[in-house]
């Protein structure tokens, strides 16, 4: 994927390098970065309808290109409020059903203000799903099943990530996200 990335996509790509790979939050991501099989797409959508149109396009492109393993759809302008993003996620699930892609594709979610249910807003564990911009991460389910089958105790990955997040501390993640957001906004001007 050698095309020029938008500032928001560059910020997410740096977050993948520093957090997802750097802290090993996803033990499967390193291989895909090395293979350059991750596509970063920008959506400037402000409405659910436009975001779903962009998502459908990104899913089509992923399914049409075997050289791409996964796509990160970066919502660079809209859905800054976490509650609005959660509303979008409800429609994402419906879209997967409508396109009969359940079991084919899966969408993971990341947001600058991500908050797990039953956690305090400032709980460091939330940073395991916080990215510099809202992201819809589209994964091929068959590939995910393959790597999970080979990985010892994959159900322990979230707990491990929470321990690593606690070791790093909230200040580390807050500063990192702020730096990446600032860089993206200053480049975009």
pLDDT tens for 104-123 read: 999 999 999 999 999 999 99
pLDDT tens for 85-96 read: 999 999 999 999
Nearest partner of 50 among 15, 86, 83, 79, judged by Cα: 79
Model pLDDT, residue 134: 98
- pTM of this structure: 0.94
Please classify residue 3 by burial: count the beta carbons closer than 10 Å to its beta carbon, then call 0-12 exposed, 13-18 middle and 19+ buried.
Answer: exposed
In degrees and rounded to multiples of 5, residue 57 shows phi and psi of -65, -45
Q: Stretch 120-136: mean pLDDT, rounded?
A: 97
């Amino acid at each position: 994927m050698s095309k020029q990335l938008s500032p928001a996509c560059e910020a997410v790509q740096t977050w993948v390098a520093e957090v997802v790979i750097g802290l090993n939050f996803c033990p499967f991501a390193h291989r895909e970065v090395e293979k350059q099989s991750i596509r970063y797409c920008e959506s400037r959508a402000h409405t659910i309808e436009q975001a779903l149109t962009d998502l459908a396009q990104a899913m089509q492109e992923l399914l049409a290109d075997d050289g791409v393993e996964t796509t990160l759809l970066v919502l660079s302008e809209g859905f800054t409020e976490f509650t609005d993003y959660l509303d979008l996620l409800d429609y994402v699930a419906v879209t997967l059903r409508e396109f009969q892609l359940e079991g084919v594709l899966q969408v993971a979610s990341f947001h600058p203000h991500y908050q797990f249910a039953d956690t305090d807003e400032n709980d460091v564990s939330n940073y395991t799903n916080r990215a510099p911009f809202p992201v819809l991460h589209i994964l091929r389910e068959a590939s995910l099943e393959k790597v999970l089958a080979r990985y010892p105790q994959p159900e322990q990955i979230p707990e491990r990530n929470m321990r690593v997040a606690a070791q790093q501390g909230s200040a580390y993640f807050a500063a990192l996200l702020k730096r990446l957001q600032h860089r993206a906004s200053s480049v975009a001007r």
